Chain A
């Protein structure tokens, strides 16, 4: 039994790494996998808040690294899903409290008892990022359909290649079909054209994601009854399991006229996919 270690990173901040990590972990847990999420953003921890587990923290990642507690003691169990655990980051320390080799050691222990270890990387390309990718078997890069985010994603892909980490996979977050159709937003194809890596998920812009994160109960908790966003996360989870889920083509939520405008602008009728 050996778990797969997946690191979610982006380079740019605010693109939705933590949200994707939380939802993906929940989706995998709902598919019956034993999942542990590690918040590697020491000093700016958020994953515990998004998962609604903030008030149950006693020990954290740094306590494990410094030998102040056992690994199991730092694993907070989420009671809403069968097998989901959080190892929170320390808030009163900084990235240097943990080294890449510490992360490798911790993940090696977790591999024995889990199916998936998902690491939420901090933004940037410095120590925190290095910590997060050190143990990774698979890296997922989150980007938004905006030039700056795609640039940063490209830089990250370059760093991962230089590090000899296998090919990363891409998640495009916060896409708005209507804006893409009007030519106001980069399309999936535009992004893939620049980054040239495999796509594993597309998440539509959806206010319910923000609302759910603020409540500490991410959208993926809703399972099959959820919105298109929760469906998108579940699709990513299934693709990670090797299930060839097609990118479902959805008609955009825009009006016929705006679609025609988009068609005229792009020379084709683009569609929303998740």
Chain B
């Protein structure tokens, strides 16, 4: 029997893993072993790369994708995209925050129903370009629901953005009454559905594309597969993609002593402390809590792995948008700007700002 093989080639966005004959149709564990064998032999050379994998028509569950991602993470590789022709696999990939296309590349062709009709002129040139990983991008945290009803409802409401999960935005507890609900109830329903689905699904929605937040059973599966090794490698580079977000035990904190300007994106599996301001257009996505010792005017997502107990603290709070776990809030338009420290947390299912003592 011919030994199963995979090939690895460099593309614009890092590496593309291409299972070849024998592996392309084999069972998952065969694919896994082939990937592991091939990459282990080249680990020194490839370390730190972003990796896309071509999965062809193979059906893969979210659990298998998470497992694959953790396997790669152990080799210090970041799985960011799964190119697939299989609808089920695509949904699973989207659920765990993987890209399913490579923009502007012919490599994306099999991954999508959209057919690239133009000559992919920039592919070759683009492949030579380096990727700015430090200023890399955080993917959205809401998972695709895969539920047709919810999707319909979203379409009618035109998008999740339309349905902030926390309707009264940032209510001011010290002011007494919550801010009146200015969204319609359809939005709330959609939001509720998303919540329900999200909490029911194994991999929790995760903004942290490079990393994932496996639900406990996923993590368990992965660690079994790894024969006792920990699926959660400690962060070697604080700002680089991380192996996984685990919100129960947050091993590390990231302290940055600078002002985050527009376009900066910080993603970290633990707590994040900023000594400085967070300007509009900057994003912080953290698995744990976020503390801004300065003015918070940008976007912060705390508890991005699903930890609803996470909080966001800032010396002055006038954010573009706040997210905790799978809830979104925006400031009410009439909110008074206060220069007092405030803490934002989920209370009774709503994102609430309260004075920070």
Binding site for B on A (CB under 8 A): 43-45, 54-59, 62-63, 65-70, 72-77, 85, 90-94, 96-102, 104-105, 109, 127, 134
Contacts and interface: CB of A to CB of B under 8 A. Distances in A.
Given A65-B103, A67-B99, A56 B117 contact: no
Contacts of A67: 90, 94, 99-101, 108, 111-112
A101 B118 CA distance: 6
B159 A97 contact: no
B140 A59 contact: yes
B162 A68 contact: no
B104 interface: yes
Interface of B: 12, 81, 90, 94, 97, 99-104, 108, 111-112, 114-118, 120, 122, 126, 129, 132, 135-140, 142, 144, 151, 154-155, 157-162, 164, 209, 262-265, 280-281, 283, 320-321, 328, 330-331
Nearest to B93: A67
A62 to B, nearest CB: 7
B104 A98 contact: yes
A223 B56 CA distance: 52
Given A72-B154, A92-B283, A102-B103, 9 more contacts: A54-B320, A55-B330, A57-B321, A66-B99, A74-B159, A98-B103, A98-B104, A101-B104, A104-B118
Contact of A69 (B116, B140, B155, B263): B140
Contact of B101 (A57, A66, A91): A66
A58 B263 contact: no
B104 A99 contact: yes
Contacts of A75: 158-159
A93 B103 CA distance: 13
B160 A66 contact: no
Which 8 A-B pairs give the minimum distances between C-beta atoms?
Answer: A99-B104, A67-B100, A101-B118, A67-B101, A66-B99, A77-B158, A92-B265, A55-B330
B118 A92 contact: no
Contact of A58 (B94, B140, B280): B140
Contact of B263 (A43, A70, A98, A127): A43
B118 A100 contact: yes
B151 A101 contact: no
A181 to B, nearest CB: 41
B330 A56 contact: yes
Give the most central of B101, B265, B280, B283: most A CB within 10 Å: B101
B160 A99 contact: no
Contacts of A66: 81, 99-103
8 contacts: A55-B331, A56-B321, A62-B103, A63-B139, A68-B100, A74-B159, A92-B264, A101-B120
A66 B102 CA distance: 6
B161 A56 contact: yes
B158 A76 contact: yes
Contacts of B102: 66
Contacts of A56: 161-162, 164, 321, 330
A97 B103 contact: yes
A77 B122 contact: no
Contacts of B140: 58-59, 63, 68-69
B112 A85 contact: no
Contacts of B81: 66
